[in-house]
Chain A
Amino acid sequence: MKKIYLIFIVLIGISTSCKKNLEELNVDTKHPTEVPGNFLFANAQKALGDQVSSTNVNLNNWKLWAQYWTETTYTDESNYDVVTRDIASNTFQEYYRDNLADLKEAARIIGGEPTSGEDEEKAKENRLIIIDILTVYSYQRLVDMFGNIPYYEALDIENISPVYDDAEAIYKDLITRINSDIISLGSGGNSFGADDIYFSGNVAMWLKFANTLKVKLGITMATVDNGLAKSTVEAAFTGAFGEGEGCELEYLGGINSNQIYVDMIQSGRHDFVATSTITDMMNTLADPRLYSYFTLIDTSSNPEVTKLAYHGGEPGYSSSYTQFSHIPNTGVDAASAGGDRLDTDVEGSNVADATFPMVLLDYTELCFYLAEAAERGYSVGGSAEEWYTKGITASMNWWLSKHYGPGDVASMTADYLANTDVAYGSAAGDWREKIGNQSWLAFYYRGFIGYTSFRRLGYPVMKQVPSPYEGSGGTVPRRITYPIADQTLNAANYTQAASAIGGDLLKTKIFWDIGPVPSK
């Protein structure tokens, strides 16, 4: 009988021995509880670059709204449907959750990091300022997309119903922030070093970025607060990017490929072609960037004859992929494979290449803003024509130098600028039309910037799509509607914001969108 008791005692002993580690069981051993702030900052940079470069129909349809591209078969997004795929929710997620929240967390961690010595202290300060600059950049994009958005109460998980703040008030606060950032960053020093995937920690470049961003913020305010716009632009332009400078995310290929490559080449999908909106204009102007933007396509109706041309589909209509120009890839469209690419094109030189960089802000953009500023009578160190010409030249350089030598680029640019339909003095229309058309062409593949340029200046003339989505007013929308999720998750504030902006509709205008009503 004693043996039996012994068996039970041993068994109980075994079972109680595993009790003591109960608390240790709930530890997630596969994820860290502490990481350096730099790596969160880098992650936010990557997320922002990916979102801007993405052409995934669930995330980023701005290239369709800007009528650079249209869809081949499934044309819902080209017809401004943002509801079926709840694109706004995905946009909120990409900006707030994957970019801004990581920036905020990076600042929190970095703020608590100990430093030794003045240099480290300065570098820490700079890092915090740079985080703020990038935060301003992201918030401006959000306001330009939606209008009123959660701002002062955003990014606080303890408050799950953040108020949507007034768009104009946010803009003014962003200008205040960027001013203060510029002043603080002015004294040089180090920052993130190699952990900064945009500028490798170059503080001087971040300062230029901040100034360029300030110009962008300022010029966008021109229609509503000309005084503020003027002072902002004038204060910033001298410190902004110079020729050939800009902020780019240089993709590495592989798992860190440009999202356009991921969505269009790696996927093997044939979802997008050029629109006639852009190919018609560029063909008329004999724009040499056509080579960089699109592929040639055989438009002959006779099999014996090949008639290559840049030919875009009608926006919003079904367009057979093989019948229309699409965006080029060095590999797929290589000359040796019968494609139209130059044999000299190397990987990374064409838009759909894995290592093609994504531009977040650059000199080209600055030039067109300053051309506009000059037209508005701001003192920006040059005339509208000068900045306009510099803008086109900068764009030509950026695109063409990926394929041609400097001499060729210069002569192609000169020819283009000599075209009476391009030259500022002779091109048709008022300054809005001239700057609008050329900046839109220059902003190609930066869908949202091109779309915003169209909204601000009213040009180019966009085409009518066949089934514009409800609430768009039948034409190109003026904003994207709020996330469907927020209709329920943040209902009271959503309702308040919708009414404050004049209805949560595609046709509702952003506060600065009060220029002359464009023709479609």
Chain B
Amino acid sequence: MRKITILLTFLLFVGMQFANAQQRTISGKVTSAEDGTGIPGVSISVKGTVVGTVTDINGDFRMDIGDLHEILIFQYLGMKTQEVEIGSGTTFNVILETDALLMEEVVVTALGITREKKSLGYATQQVDGDDINTIKNDNFINNLQGKAAGVNIKVNNNLGGSTNVIIRGSSSLTGNNQALFVVDGVPISNNLVTESGQISGRNGYDFGNAASDIPASDIESVDILKGAAATALYGSRAANGVIMITTKKGSKGRGTKRWGVNLSTSATVGLMDKSTFPAYQKDYGAGYGWFYSAGPDYPGLERDYDINGDGELDLTVPTYEDASFGQKFDPGLMVYQYNSYDPASPKFKTATPWVAGENGADYFMQNTWSFTNSVSIFGGGEKATFRLGYSNTTATAMMVNGNLNNNSLDFSGSYEIVKGLTASAKLNYISMKGKGRNSTGYSDNILSSFRQWSQVNVDYKEQEALYNDNTRNITWNPNSPSDLAPAYWDNPYWARNQNYETDKRSRLLGYAMVDWEINDHFSLMGRFGFDTYSYLIEDRKAIGSASGEFGVGRNDVTSGYSRKTILYSETNTDFMARYHNNWEHFNISVLLGTNIRRQNNESIWESTQGGLIVPGLYSLGNSLDPQAPPVERKATIGVNGYFANVSVGFINQVYLDGSVRLDKSSTLPADNNTYVYPAISASWLWSELLKNSDWLQLGKLRAGYAQVGNDAPFAAINDTYSQNPSFGSVPLFSLPSTKNNINLKPERTSSIETGIEMTMFNSRFGFDIAYYKNNTTDQILPVAVSTATGYSYKYVNAGEIQNAGTELLIFGAPVVRNKFRWDITLNWAKNVNKVVSLDEGLENLQLASLQGGVSINARVGEPYGTIQGKDYVYNDAGQKIIGSDGYYLRSSTSDNVLGNINPDWMGGINNRFSFNHNWVVSFLVDWQQGGSIFSLDQYYGLGTGLYEETVYTNDLGNPVRNSLDDGGGLILDGVMNTGTEDEPVWEANTTRVHGDDYRVFGWSRNPNAAFIYSATYIKLREVVISYSLPSKMMANSKALHAVSFSLVGGNLWIISKDLPHADPEASQGAGNVQGWQSGVAPSMRTIGLTVNVQF
């Protein structure tokens, strides 16, 4: 880490060297107070001039200073700056001390304003750009996992999938709870492109978060502003916290060069973590039981067809059943399987042994590869800087025919037009292309077939060959020997190669800015920031595919083409005037500003109707039936904001900060669209009182209170009608399902926050602890109402959510030797979320109703996101009651709280070892404790008998799937009432139930509660080994400046988890509906090698 900082610093300051002219030479050595070694790369300059140099690898320096003789400044990131009078001296040996405030002395706050961290009355956390550029994946956000306290980052494993970023808990009942992303002070879109249906478990694709477009290689640092106090200046959208991204800017080159070049290349391979993929039983094949037509000898098979043409009916497999609760395998038993039905199959009319497929579903999964290459050229002189960066990432999917390709071209530059007046601009063009993203959700998702609906007798290598040789949908799941169309599932190779989506996003974002420092006290800033993209999403279903919901209207069809275009733009126009002044014991800064935001989000979605006519032609014109009208949407939003901020500091010890913002929003009723909200915070550096203490370097107490107002979603005020496809020539219009509300008022979040920061023992130990409580009230939400009202939802101002929590950041350096250093950083956060109230008379707000009969809800008195469904029935002693049939009783109602999506706490611990200044080894362990998941994969997969848990030896020593007569079956754990209803007598259950009946393990006979799992996990998130070529070697090189290699492992080991066969983090995508898994992607262990070269 430090090595890289050294190099960066070197780059920053070395360029000043060439400007000198005269003859007087001074020299010296800069050493560290910590271990006495020389520090390379310390910048030394003569105050008020551009004359300067940096120390060499040993910490030595030499420079010509001409006739200057005032003050030398020694600066090094993370160390206290020293000023030394030059006078007539020629040798300067300087010892630099570690800065108590560490490297984050300066933080980036709202609107891109940099502030001294010590003056802040609220918590922020900075993550260095290199830390989010370790694992090369398609989304830099993922690399924040475990690195920031109080930031709940949930990564699913979908290709290019969206990442859920929740800071300090969910505060909005139905609105957006994702953090706001800001690049260089300008908000950018982090829209989830996903359809709402997909989020709540219908089939679809996870198109990721728009913020992930930003290439990690362009990121200098990320600041996380957690509380409302930190974000008051962004207004409404910042109520969920802000991820502030500072991108790399131009600077002077190395040595006397005015420019430099950075190159980075990396290759990463991903290997499936098998603990997150189904493990199948190997004893029973296709079917649901013993009732098929082949008779008592082979009750799991059929005898209805003559396959080989010998005039006798043959034993066939019930291929249309997507379950594995059928006939027991027997290598001696020859049966006709799906591969004997199709003339194209090598096994046509051939019986094959009845055994488990040699190549199971894991054969289908492949290693992923991703390659990231980036190059940047930067440079500058006294007045101008520029940086031109290009980066490309390609990634392949874990299933065939899927990849992502992201190209980013970024230019930023600045020029000082006249003294004090700087114009700067940034333009970033991003082209993101996706192909073959994996489907998510319950149906039409290969992974839900693998996890829920499959036959373990299928050999996927054979499926691959049959597809590749014929390019036809020869599926393992045909209706029958006489009807080879798929019953439910395609050949997965057909599905991947023929029924794939493609998407293409072209994006341009950036800003133009003018900064004018009128004098030492006044400055003005004007900035126009923009983010605009067009996004085209196309989806295909080839003729001959299994039926599935598709296109506009989402009818079940067997082929189709769908096309969606999204045009998005956001502009922010900001003006700020700043004044600051310092007196001896007092300083003040005042900021006045305005922010004019406009957003436009348009989309049009069209699809074929009823299927396709010409195979392989994916055009809207190729529609079997006349097309349904497209779904069109155009949402325009505007907010005009005005804000003021005053900061006052006394004797460098006490800081007070107050701000107020007024917003006028287009989405609220015209007579009530203006709202004002204040924020105030204070910090006290009490360590200033103990200035001479040896053990204490920093002690700070901080506290703040803030409010944030929020407006309504687009078009929630006035009622409109919705149009349905015309019936012949009769237009059809309908009332919408949501009743809008002309009386909406702004919603509010109030928060308090307090914290203590301490750094001690020569900066080898420190911590930052924060406590906060946020209440969001008067929420604008569409409450679900009984449809007997004629509507499904009604917009109201109602409800309150409280989030209270504690965050802890501890860092320490247990060992610091000459050439060895061990750092530990620990993040820990606990957030307690509670739904305080909903609309009057309303106890529960359903966020989503999901397959399996469970729902995700906001329930009064419970944390946000309860998972509700059918529970067991318990007696007074809390034992599960078994009914007279030997199966569990189930509650009659489906609104029982079975769990909730919120973790109890989350933490991460990072150990970092550096040797000899050029080796660094670090590993990060990430821990989430608690939270619940309803696994639809287990709910169905256990029922269909896929998983290994459904085959075992029972208490009698026999296979559980034997018939009861054969000593099979099982006795469920619970109690039975042997008394009367009024006077129950509870005795342990002794009723043996069929183990050969598919109902016993899965959905059919068990309550939802049986499939609730803890989401707890402990993961070895990241392991980094990096090596930099020794600085000495570099110092001798004319061309090269720095070379480093790093080997990075991601998600190498799930140390502990409760959820079988899946990654507890996996989901259908980001959003408010979490805690439900269906057909989720397995997690990949990634190993990547990166080479960085700087010239």
- Chain A interface residues toward B at CB < 8 A: 4, 7-8, 11-12, 14-16, 18-19, 21-35, 39-40, 42-43, 46-47, 72-73, 76, 83-86, 89, 92-93, 96-98, 100-102, 104-105, 149-150, 154-157, 159-162, 194-195, 197, 252-257, 262-263, 266-270, 301-304, 317-318, 320-323, 467, 470-471, 483-491
Q: Is B996 an interface residue (CB 8 A)?
A: no
Return the contact of B666 from the options A16, A26, A35 (Cβ within 8 A): A26
Contact between B789 and A157 (Cβ–Cβ < 8 Å)? yes
Taking the closest CB of chain B, its distance from the CB of A6, in whole angstroms, is: 12
Question: Could you give 24 example pairs across A and B, Cβ below 8 Å?
Answer: A4-B516, A8-B514, A11-B573, A25-B638, A29-B634, A32-B721, A33-B721, A97-B787, A97-B791, A97-B792, A157-B785, A159-B789, A161-B841, A255-B625, A266-B610, A267-B555, A303-B311, A303-B312, A321-B480, A321-B487, A322-B480, A471-B892, A484-B894, A488-B844
Most chain A C-beta atoms within 10 Å of own C-beta, residue among B313, B526, B640, B733: B733
Contact between B483 and A322 (Cβ–Cβ < 8 Å)? yes
Contact between B791 and A101 (Cβ–Cβ < 8 Å)? yes
When C-beta atoms are compared, the residue in chain A nearest to B720 turns out to be A31
Chain B residues with CB under 8 A of A85: 853
Taking the closest CB of chain B, its distance from the CB of A315, in whole angstroms, is: 14
> 20 extra interchain contacts, Cβ-Cβ under 8 A, other than A256-B728, A487-B895?
A8-B526, A11-B575, A15-B575, A42-B731, A73-B320, A93-B787, A96-B788, A96-B790, A97-B792, A149-B788, A157-B790, A262-B555, A266-B611, A268-B547, A269-B556, A270-B320, A317-B291, A471-B892, A484-B895, A486-B786
Q: Is B598 an interface residue (CB 8 A)?
A: yes
Taking the closest CB of chain B, its distance from the CB of A3, in whole angstroms, is: 9
CA distance A154 to B609 in the complex (A): 36
Return the contact of A40 from the options B487, B634, B734, B843 (Cβ within 8 A): B734
When C-beta atoms are compared, the residue in chain A nearest to B632 turns out to be A30
Q: Is B911 an interface residue (CB 8 A)?
A: no
Interface size counted on chain B using CB atoms at 8 A: 113
Q: Given A31-B723, A42-B730, does the pair A12, B575 have CB atoms closer than 8 Å?
A: yes
Chain B residues with CB under 8 A of A72: 320
Q: Given A8-B514, A101-B735, does the pair A84, B320 have CB atoms closer than 8 Å?
A: no
Return the contact of A267 from the options B293, B558, B728, B1003 (Cβ within 8 A): B558
Interface string of B874-915 (1 = CB under 8 A from A): 000000000000000010111100000000000000000000
List residues of B (825-877) whose CB comes within 8 Å of A's CBs. 841-844, 846, 849, 852-853, 870
Return the contact of B556 from the options A27, A47, A263 (Cβ within 8 A): A263
Q: Given A11-B514, A33-B719, A43-B733, does the pair A266, B789 have CB atoms closer than 8 Å?
A: no
Return the contact of A318 from the options B288, B528, B794 (Cβ within 8 A): B288
Chain B residues with CB under 8 A of A267: 547, 555-558
Return the contact of B735 from the options A14, A102, A160 (Cβ within 8 A): A102
Contact between B735 and A303 (Cβ–Cβ < 8 Å)? no
Contact between A489 and B786 (Cβ–Cβ < 8 Å)? yes
Chain A residues with CB under 8 A of B626: 254-255
Interface string of B271-288 (1 = CB under 8 A from A): 000000000000000001
Contact between A303 and B305 (Cβ–Cβ < 8 Å)? yes
Q: Which of B94-102, B710-718, B760-768, B1049-1057 contacts A (4 or more CB under 8 A)?
A: B710-718
CA distance A33 to B736 in the complex (A): 11
When C-beta atoms are compared, the residue in chain B nearest to A318 turns out to be B288
Q: Is B376 an interface residue (CB 8 A)?
A: no
Interface string of B536-574 (1 = CB under 8 A from A): 000000000011000001011110000000000000010
Contact between B479 and A22 (Cβ–Cβ < 8 Å)? no
Chain B residues with CB under 8 A of A93: 787, 792
When C-beta atoms are compared, the residue in chain A nearest to B635 turns out to be A28
CA distance A467 to B994 in the complex (A): 14
Chain A residues with CB under 8 A of B594: 15
When C-beta atoms are compared, the residue in chain B nearest to A94 turns out to be B787
Contact between A162 and B789 (Cβ–Cβ < 8 Å)? yes
Q: Is B670 an interface residue (CB 8 A)?
A: yes
Q: Is B220 an interface residue (CB 8 A)?
A: no
Taking the closest CB of chain A, its distance from the CB of B120, in whole angstroms, is: 29
Q: Is B256 an interface residue (CB 8 A)?
A: no
Taking the closest CB of chain A, its distance from the CB of B309, in whole angstroms, is: 8
Return the contact of A73 from the options B288, B638, B718, B792 (Cβ within 8 A): B288
List residues of B (698-745) whose CB comes within 8 Å of A's CBs. 714-715, 717-725, 727-737, 739
Contact between B843 and A19 (Cβ–Cβ < 8 Å)? no
CA distance A31 to B626 in the complex (A): 22
Q: Given A252-B728, A270-B487, does the pair A40, B733 have CB atoms closer than 8 Å?
A: yes
Q: Given A40-B733, A253-B625, does the pair A155, B293 have CB atoms closer than 8 Å?
A: no
Taking the closest CB of chain B, its distance from the CB of A148, in whole angstroms, is: 12
Chain A residues with CB under 8 A of B302: 320
Contact between A11 and B719 (Cβ–Cβ < 8 Å)? no
Interchain residue pairs A-B with the least CB separation, the first 6: A101-B790, A267-B556, A303-B306, A31-B720, A254-B625, A150-B788
CA distance A467 to B843 in the complex (A): 34
Q: Is B925 an interface residue (CB 8 A)?
A: no
Taking the closest CB of chain A, its distance from the CB of B779, in whole angstroms, is: 16
Taking the closest CB of chain A, its distance from the CB of B617, in whole angstroms, is: 19
Contact between B320 and A321 (Cβ–Cβ < 8 Å)? yes
CA distance A82 to B1033 in the complex (A): 75
Contact between B556 and A266 (Cβ–Cβ < 8 Å)? yes
CA distance A14 to B528 in the complex (A): 10
Contact between B638 and A28 (Cβ–Cβ < 8 Å)? no
Contact between B787 and A96 (Cβ–Cβ < 8 Å)? yes
Chain A residues with CB under 8 A of B637: 25-26
CA distance A263 to B784 in the complex (A): 28
Chain B residues with CB under 8 A of A162: 786, 788-789
CA distance A157 to B421 in the complex (A): 59
Chain B residues with CB under 8 A of A105: 735
Taking the closest CB of chain A, its distance from the CB of B272, in whole angstroms, is: 30
Return the contact of A92 from the options B665, B722, B787, B893 (Cβ within 8 A): B787
Chain A residues with CB under 8 A of B730: 39, 42, 194-195, 197
CA distance A29 to B731 in the complex (A): 18
CA distance A488 to B838 in the complex (A): 12
Contact between A489 and B556 (Cβ–Cβ < 8 Å)? no
CA distance A269 to B892 in the complex (A): 31
Q: Is B973 an interface residue (CB 8 A)?
A: no
Q: Is B37 an interface residue (CB 8 A)?
A: no
Return the contact of B846 from the options A7, A155, A320, A488 (Cβ within 8 A): A488
Taking the closest CB of chain B, its distance from the CB of A127, in whole angstroms, is: 14
Contact between A485 and B547 (Cβ–Cβ < 8 Å)? no
Contact between B625 and A489 (Cβ–Cβ < 8 Å)? no
Taking the closest CB of chain B, its distance from the CB of A18, in whole angstroms, is: 7
CA distance A26 to B667 in the complex (A): 6
Most chain B C-beta atoms within 10 Å of own C-beta, residue among A12, A32, A194, A256: A256
Q: Is B1010 an interface residue (CB 8 A)?
A: no
List residues of B (284-325) whose CB comes within 8 Å of A's CBs. 288-289, 291-293, 302-306, 311-313, 318, 320-321
Contact between B787 and A46 (Cβ–Cβ < 8 Å)? no
Most chain B C-beta atoms within 10 Å of own C-beta, residue among A29, A100, A160: A160
CA distance A7 to B292 in the complex (A): 84
Chain B residues with CB under 8 A of A301: 303-304, 313
Chain A residues with CB under 8 A of B304: 301, 320, 322-323
Taking the closest CB of chain A, its distance from the CB of B557, in whole angstroms, is: 6
Chain B residues with CB under 8 A of A252: 727-728
Chain A residues with CB under 8 A of B733: 32, 35, 39-40, 43
Chain B residues with CB under 8 A of A467: 999, 1004
When C-beta atoms are compared, the residue in chain A nearest to B574 turns out to be A15
Return the contact of A28 from the options B306, B480, B718, B852 (Cβ within 8 A): B718
CA distance A31 to B715 in the complex (A): 10
Q: Is B482 an interface residue (CB 8 A)?
A: yes
Contact between B598 and A18 (Cβ–Cβ < 8 Å)? yes
Chain A residues with CB under 8 A of B670: 23
When C-beta atoms are compared, the residue in chain B nearest to A30 turns out to be B632
Contact between B895 and A488 (Cβ–Cβ < 8 Å)? yes
Taking the closest CB of chain B, its distance from the CB of A161, in whole angstroms, is: 6
Q: Is B167 an interface residue (CB 8 A)?
A: no
